[in-house]
Structure 1
Amino acid sequence: MEKTSGFSPEQQLTSLDARLLLSLQRLSDMLKAMQWEQARILGITPLQLQILLFTGHHTAEVNKVAYIATELQLSRPTVSDAAAALVSKGFLRIEEDMRDRRSYSFLLTDTGHEVLAKAEQYTGELDAILQKRPLQEKSGLYQSLVTIIAGLYDKDKGGMQRMCYSCAHYDGNKKRQHACRLLKKKLLSSELQIDCLHHSSLTTSVNNAAPTENGPLL
């Protein structure tokens, strides 16, 4: 069987898989370009924008260099430098972990919250498009994306996916039967989570994190 290439115009003529691969790549490129442009407007780097988006919507428990580095699949020194720059700009503040004086979390300042509201605007066009699509179409698309993300995820290669399929609370067959033991309810495929703060490995991932290579900021 000939290997499918999403970059081959010839295969795109006859292969739906090739067209899907190219479509996903194009969408990724377009989102990245919009994110970079928004970062430029705000006078920060794309990585700093990503850190603002993460810290602005997650708790102090995970807003640490080690965890964010795992989330973004980057080195701890790289994340530490970017977060330190946001602190110097007045967008983030450092909060000491009272349980471990060597550990720190990053929280948004009042100015940081204002910048966060602007940072999120780069998805506005995409959000408007999604809102116009039928619910059934969006549910099917989401289910397909969850399946793709789950298929690509490899914990041995790093990265963090707080999704139902990798959670101890998940009970189901990963096909049409889904349930959450923690919430004590059955879930529709469209209700499966990919960024859940109740994910079973959340606490252990943070507490077992090793010290950063670039100093005490964890």
Structure 2
Amino acid sequence: MDNIPFNPDTQNSSNAALILAALERVGESFRVMLWEQAKEYGLSPIQVQSLIFLHTHDERMATVTYLSKEFNVTKATMSDVVKVLTEKKLLVKKDNPADSRVQVLKLTSQGKKVAAATGGFANTMLEQIGQLTERQQTEIKTILLNLIHQLYREKIITMQRMCFTCVHFSTAGNKHFCNLLQIPLTPDHLRLDCPEHDQKPEPLS
């Protein structure tokens, strides 16, 4: 049989293949929970994700262009998402005083309610993770952050606001430091989605 990670025989002889298959199942569980929550409100998964993102992130990220990069879809697709949410009176477009060419997306009061209600769609998974020990959580966190960083470097993931991609991040040997907050970045302090993130310029090829 083909030596692919979704082949049970391959998984039985390769921990790497089994871990990959396990991550795929976790991802599928995430999608199922998101879809069920979206259906309850007559929305699509990407519409729910957009509402949650706008509810939990800074206004400078509240544009069609930023959202399209965040969710790795075309600007046309994200424009359609915004159009539907606007028609449903869940968000409005406002002029951006800093740039007249770009409109800022703002949730309406109803949009905030829907975002708050749907934001806990993955709480079942969160409860399971919360039952792990602090040490186990820290170990998994470190592994996942490094994996996400590698996927970003491979340009598979397009948007990141994690420590490793920030101009304020520095490293010496195995020790990391945040030059903005002036704190050592131990595994417990590393962030995946930092409000103070300032994107590090891409290295010249």
Whether TM-score is above 0.5 comes out as: yes
Determine the structure 2 residue equivalent to 1:70: 69
User: Which letter does structure 1 place at the counterpart of 2:126?
Assistant: D
Superposed CA deviations along residues 43-66 of structure 1, whole A, max 9, x for unmatched, are: 111110110111111111111011
1:201, CA displacement in angstroms? 2.4
Contact persistence 1:4–1:15 (CA under 8 A): no
Give the share of equivalent positions with the same residue, in percent.
28
TM-score, normalised to structure 1, is 0.86
- Contiguous gaps of at least 5 residues in structure 2: none
1:9-88 to 2 correspondences below 5 Å: 9-88=8-87
- Distance, in Å, in 1 between the alignment partners of 2:124 and 2:155 is 35
1:59-138 to 2 correspondences below 5 Å: 59-138=58-137
Determine the structure 2 residue equivalent to 1:209: none
Q: Which has the higher contact order (CA 8 A, sep 6+)?
A: 1
- Contiguous gaps of at least 5 residues in structure 1: 205-218
User: Which letter does structure 1 place at the counterpart of 2:185?
Assistant: L
1:128, CA displacement in angstroms? 1.1
Determine the structure 1 residue equivalent to 2:194: 196
1:197, CA displacement in angstroms? 2.2
Superposed CA deviations along residues 161-205 of structure 1, whole A, max 9, x for unmatched, are: 1111111100115x7411100001111123211211211129x9x
User: Which letter does structure 2 place at the counterpart of 1:195?
Assistant: D
User: Which letter does structure 2 place at the counterpart of 1:78?
Assistant: T
1:126-205 to 2 correspondences below 5 Å: 126-154=125-153, 159-173=158-172, 176-201=174-199
- Distance, in Å, in 1 between the alignment partners of 2:119 and 2:97 is 31
TM-score, normalised to structure 2, is 0.91
RMSD of aligned alpha carbons: 2.0
Partner SS state of residue 87, structure 1: helix
